[in-house]
A = this chain, B = another copy of it.
Amino acid sequence: MAPSLKAAPTCAPADEKHDLRPVEGRAADEELALLTKAVGHPARVQILRLLVRRDSCICGDIVDELPLAQSTVSQHLKVLKEAGLIRGEIDGPRIGYCIEPRTLRRLKALVGGL
């Protein structure tokens, strides 16, 4: 599942200047609130765990794992994607999702900074 790719392989790295930002202050508060709000749903926690476990990417297998309709799962994926916690790469007819390790680290840093 790696032949023709558009931008990058399924889980490509991106810009790095992301981890060394303050974990306090007004901006950090907003960021922490956005990230935790995105995580704040059981289905999204499950999705995150799925993507972390299979560190590689999956697609609509997520739908099979969750007791939710496909459209609902798609909505949750959108929330996680907009928060920057996951990323979706077009891989042929399907879409491979993967966690965004930097944002996850950032979340851990922000929570750890509490």
Give A32 to B37 CA distance when docked, in angstroms. 11
Complex CA gap A111/B108 in Å reads: 6
- Interface assignment of A80: CB less than 8 Å from any CB of chain B: no
Partner of A29, one of B33, B37, B42, B104: B42
Minimum CB–CB distance from A92 to chain B (whole Å) comes to 28
Chain B residues near A33: list those with CB within 8 A: 39-42, 44-45
Q: Is A48 an interface residue (CB 8 A)?
A: yes
Do B40 and A114 touch (CB < 8 A)? no
A residues with CB within 8 A of B: 24, 29-30, 32-34, 36-42, 44-46, 48-49, 52, 104, 107-108, 111-112, 114
